[in-house]
């Protein structure tokens, strides 16, 4: 009996590995492989006309954070790179914050509709998501450009008399990313709100809790997993965004994605581009570790 159980267990474990193999192969070759190449490249010397030379060098990593002044040869922090890092983090945080402010009420609204209506509302959130990213970005651009819908409307009702210059600014990048990534906030929030036991909220009101107290002490703690998952889902792609800052920022406000592209293209410095990519990965990793820590503590506290 015991033997039989062990054999079955062994067979099951083998089957599990067999079933996992395709996924593992893809992970190893399509995810880890390129990553490894990127890592190796970041320690090589840049070829004169793009590409790399097989000479070990830490120049690329040095140049991520420091620069030798081209004119007086003094060493200083790589001001250009650091300000682009900072802009990327700042804009991504603001986008995440905006997504919470807009996404939370939206998800709550949908979760409190009668069950058979919810699908319809979710569909409205999902439909833009089916459209190509570039097309969505250009659509937003059409809305906020000087001769666009928003400015024409505001001028027609005489709120302003000269068009607002929104396009090609950091605000434009935030608006663009907010629109593109909002569904990624609404979906997990909705998923955790749908499971919310609304009798708890009623109980709160029965015990004379104010609306704010109910939100803070009942709803927020219960939907926190969804909120954190949504924030990560918005923050991470915002950090690496390429198309949106390119189109909405008018190429004048680089974000990390654009800086990396520059190194592989006109900059002809592949190792630096590789080192910057790994740095971006590290920033994302820190954000995820933070998430794991917070989520882990939550679980530990309740257990």
Binding site for other proteins (CB under 8 A): 48-51, 67, 70-71, 79-81, 83-84, 145-147, 165, 168, 250-252, 254, 258-259, 262, 264-269
Nearer to other proteins, 79 or 197 (CB): 79
Nearer to other proteins, 264 or 291 (CB): 264
Query: What is the H or E stretch that residue 45 is in?
Result: strand 45-46
Reading the block at residue 249, the tokens are 């920022």
3-state SS class at 163: coil
Closest by CA position to 52, among listed 61, 40, 64: 40
Nearer to other proteins, 168 or 179 (CB): 168
Nearer to other proteins, 100 or 169 (CB): 169
Closest by CA position to 275, among listed 103, 45, 55: 45
Nearer to other proteins, 105 or 265 (CB): 265
Closest by CA position to 277, among listed 28, 290, 285, 266: 285
Nearer to other proteins, 91 or 185 (CB): 91
Reading the block at residue 224, the tokens are 């926190």
What distances in angstroms separate CA 65 from CA 45, 61, 252, 302, one per listed residue?
Answer: 17, 7, 21, 42
CA distance linking residue 101 with residue 243, whole number of Å = 24
In the complex, what is the shortest distance from the CB of residue 113 to other proteins, in angstroms, rounded to a whole number? 41
In the complex, what is the shortest distance from the CB of residue 112 to other proteins, in angstroms, rounded to a whole number? 43
Contacting residues for 209 by C-beta, under 8 A, at least 6 apart: 217, 218
Nearer to other proteins, 49 or 56 (CB): 49
Reading the block at residue 236, the tokens are 């991470």
In the complex, what is the shortest distance from the CB of residue 144 to other proteins, in angstroms, rounded to a whole number? 12
User: By the 8 A CB rule, do 290 and 93 touch?
Assistant: no
In the complex, what is the shortest distance from the CB of residue 72 to other proteins, in angstroms, rounded to a whole number? 9
Pure H helices in 112-148: 115-126, 133-144
């Amino acid at each position: 009996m015991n033997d039989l159980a062990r054999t079955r267990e062994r067979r099951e474990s083998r089957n599990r590995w067999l079933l996992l193999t395709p996924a593992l192969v893809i992970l190893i070759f399509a995810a880890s492989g390129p990553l490894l190449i990127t890592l190796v490249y970041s320690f090589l010397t840049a070829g004169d006309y793009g590409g790399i030379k097989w000479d070990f060098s830490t120049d690329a990593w040095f140049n991520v954070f420091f620069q030798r002044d081209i004119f007086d040869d003094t060493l200083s922090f790589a001001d250009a790179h650091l300000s682009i890092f900072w802009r990327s983090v700042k804009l991504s945080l603001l986008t995440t914050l905006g997504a919470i402010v807009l996404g939370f009420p939206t998800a709550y609204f949908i979760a409190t509709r009668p069950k058979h209506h919810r699908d319809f509302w979710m569909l409205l959130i999902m439909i833009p998501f089916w459209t190509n990213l570039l097309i969505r970005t250009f659509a937003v651009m059409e809305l906020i450009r000087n001769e666009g819908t928003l400015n024409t409307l505001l001028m027609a009702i005489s709120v302003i008399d000269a068009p607002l210059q929104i396009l090609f600014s950091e605000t434009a990048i935030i608006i663009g990313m907010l629109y593109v990534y909002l569904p990624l906030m609404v979906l997990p929030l909705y998923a955790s709100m749908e499971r919310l036991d609304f009798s708890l909220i009623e109980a709160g009101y029965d015990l004379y809790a104010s609306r704010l107290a109910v939100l803070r002490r009942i709803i927020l703690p219960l939907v926190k997993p969804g909120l954190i998952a949504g924030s990560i889902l918005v923050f991470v792609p915002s950090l690496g965004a390429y198309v949106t800052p390119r189109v909405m920022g008018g190429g004048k406000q680089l974000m990390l994605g654009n800086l990396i592209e520059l190194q592989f293209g006109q900059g002809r410095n592949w190792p630096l581009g590789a080192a910057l990519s790994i740095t971006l990965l590290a920033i994302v990793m820190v954000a995820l570790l933070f998430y794991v820590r917070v989520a882990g503590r939550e679980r530990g506290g309740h257990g």
